[in-house]
């Protein structure tokens, strides 16, 4: 396998670098996870940044032209991701929209929904969130209890979601609801696009241990959603949700993208810090850096092979779960090695204005959440065991019983 750019990819990379240089003055250059003084200003700056990138043809490049993309390849998308990281442009504000909600709307939406939503999503005119998890249903997502009841041309939604990333800045969300409690739990679900500004939607931010407030509780009290906002048929919500989840596992580490800080930034930190460490600490730090580099590069190149397979017509399959698992583990090793190199400086730097050191510590505090989001490590291991290795499935006593009659309604 040749890991270097092909001549076409090298030319594309040069074009992307050139476009980013041309627009540098219009883009935010924040460090990952860092909070600006004013959250509202930061949101507007991130929306502007995505709009500038979209207008330059650098957002949703692998989406079909009819959906507002460039009809490009996943390799080109990966190149853009690498060049944005190199230019220190933070994650796109609509990364959940682009990575998960958009592909779900493309796969299951009507032409009218495509028309209304996709171009605006790419430009961050509308920011999107994913409203799946509830207080009593995360890993066992199909046990969710938020209901949608048909009333004329509308559905009336009641219930609560939690851990909803970006809900506090979102305009739309994809919302998984229970519409038929008499059917087995996977069979009675329906997906909708919900207007996050609709009457009856209440968003309450939650604060994480790294200090950020990225996710929220969301309450639905008699929220009316027109039937034209349904994604897929009534009762087909689980199939629609699987499209979202498989795309999520490719977007989060499964495509070889670095989660958080790159192995290259670890190498730079090591070159700067190793000479100043005692001989004993140097040995331990070198071992940590070596272990992290092997894991991160192995994951990156395996991810490229997966992207190549997808771009040749494959769909993201259960093996994307292995990519998310390995990507998270590698990212944790990279962050841990960085913190080890910094020693006490990493702990004391947060809040003292030392951005370089604080970034490593914030990253270390952020990664355990990534090992939970979109499928915990344990659940991904179950999926790999059952769906990739063909091992016997876990006992699931409530799988075929009507939801109403199962213990899931507790
Ligand atoms: C940073 C972050 C962002 C998130 N963003 C979103 C979002 O935007 N939208 C959204 O809908 N949700 C989001 N989530 C929620 C996330 O999807 C859930 O947290 C996750 O699915 C786990 O569910 P839970 O928290 O209810 O834990 P539980 O499912 O209660 O799990 C608790 C523990 O039990 C283990 N466990 C559960 N079932 C099994 C099993 N069958 N076998 C072995 N072990 C098991 C788990 O691995 C875990 O260790 C986010 C979470 C985080 C941390």
Residue 260 lies in a domain: yes
235 and 274 part of one domain: no
Ligand 1 is surrounded, with C-beta below 6 A, by: 129-133, 138-139, 163-165, 215, 369, 372-374, 376, 378-379, 382, 394
CATH of the domain at 80: 1.10.540
Position 403 in a domain: no
Burial of 237 from C-beta contacts in 10 A (0-12 / 13-18 / 19+) = buried
Asked if residue 1 is part of any domain, the answer here is: no
Nearest to 32 by CA among 368, 288, 358, 373: 358
Is residue 248 among the annotated active site residues? Answer: yes
Per-residue pLDDT tens over the stretch 144-168: 999 999 999 999 999 999 999 999 9
pLDDT at 41 over 50: yes
CA of 371 to the centre of ligand 1 (A): 9
Residue 409: what pLDDT?
Answer: 47
Q: Which residue has the higher pLDDT, 227 or 37?
A: 227
Domain of 69 in residue numbering reads as 7-93
- The set of residues, in sequence order, having a beta carbon less than 8 Å from that of 34 and lying 6+ positions away, is 355, 358, 359, 362
> Are residues 233 and 267 located together in one domain of the fold?
no
**Nearest atom of ligand 1 to the alpha carbon of 140:** 29
Helix or strand or coil: residue 354?
Answer: coil
One domain, residues 211 and 301? no
pLDDT number for residue 350: 61
Determine, yes or no, domain membership for 333.
yes
Same domain, 223 and 176: yes
- Do the beta carbons of residue 355 and residue 31 sit within 8 Å? yes
The number of the ligand 1 atom at minimal distance from the alpha carbon of 131 is 11
Q: Which of 43, 66, 248, 397 is catalytic?
A: 248
The string of pLDDT tens digits covering residues 294-332 is: 999 998 888 877 777 766 666 667 777 888 899 899 999
Tokens of 90: 């933070």
Helices 320-342 and 355-370, packing angle to 10 deg: 150
What is the number of structural domains in the chain? 3
Indicate whether 269 and 339 sit together in one domain.
Answer: yes
Report how far ligand 1's centroid is from the alpha carbon of 376 (Å).
6
Separation between Cα atoms, residue 55 and residue 53, nearest integer Å: 5
């Amino acid at each position: 396998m040749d890991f270097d750019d092909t001549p076409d990819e090298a030319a594309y990379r040069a074009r992307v670098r050139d476009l980013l240089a041309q627009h540098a003055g219009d883009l935010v250059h924040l460090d990952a996870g860092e909070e600006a003084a004013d959250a509202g200003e930061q949101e507007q700056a991130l929306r502007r940044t995505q709009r500038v990138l979209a207008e330059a043809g650098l957002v949703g490049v692998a989406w079909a032209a009819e959906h507002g993309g460039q009809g490009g390849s996943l390799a080109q998308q990966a190149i853009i991701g690498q060049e944005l990281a190199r230019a220190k442009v933070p994650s796109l504000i609509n990364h959940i929209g682009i990575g998960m909600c958009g592909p779900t709307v493309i796969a299951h939406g009507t032409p009218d929904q495509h028309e209304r939503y996709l171009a605006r999503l790419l430009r961050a005119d509308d920011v999107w969130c994913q409203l799946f998890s509830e207080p009593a249903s995360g890993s066992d997502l199909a046990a969710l209890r938020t209901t949608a009841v048909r009333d004329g041309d509308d559905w009336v939604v009641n219930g609560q979601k939690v851990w909803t990333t970006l809900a506090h800045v979102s305009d739309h969300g994809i919302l998984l609801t229970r519409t038929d409690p008499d059917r087995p739990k996977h069979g009675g679900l329906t997906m909708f696009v919900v207007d996050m500004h609709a009457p009856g939607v209440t968003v309450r931010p939650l604060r994480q241990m790294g200090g950020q407030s990225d996710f929220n509780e969301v309450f639905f009290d008699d929220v009316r959603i027109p039937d034209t906002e349904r994604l897929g048929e009534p009762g087909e919500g689980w199939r629609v949700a699987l499209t979202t989840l498989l795309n999520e596992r490719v977007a989060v580490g499964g495509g070889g993208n670095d989660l958080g800080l790159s192995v290259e930034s670890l190498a730079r930190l090591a070159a700067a810090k190793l000479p100043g460490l005692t001989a004993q600490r140097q040995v331990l730090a070198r071992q940590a850096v070596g272990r992290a580099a092997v894991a991160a590069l192995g994951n990156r190149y395996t991810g490229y092979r997966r992207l190549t397979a997808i771009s040749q017509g494959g769909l993201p399959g259960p093996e994307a779960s292995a990519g998310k698992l390995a990507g998270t583990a590698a990212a944790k090793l990279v962050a841990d090695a960085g913190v080890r190199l910094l020693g006490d400086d990493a702990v004391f730097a947060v809040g003292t204005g030392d951005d370089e050191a604080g970034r490593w510590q914030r990253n270390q505090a952020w990664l355990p959440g990534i090992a939970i989001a979109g499928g915990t490590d344990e659940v991904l291991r179950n999926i790999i065991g059952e769906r990739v290795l063909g091992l016997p499935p876990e006992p699931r006593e409530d799988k075929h019983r009507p939801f109403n009659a199962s213990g899931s309604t507790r």
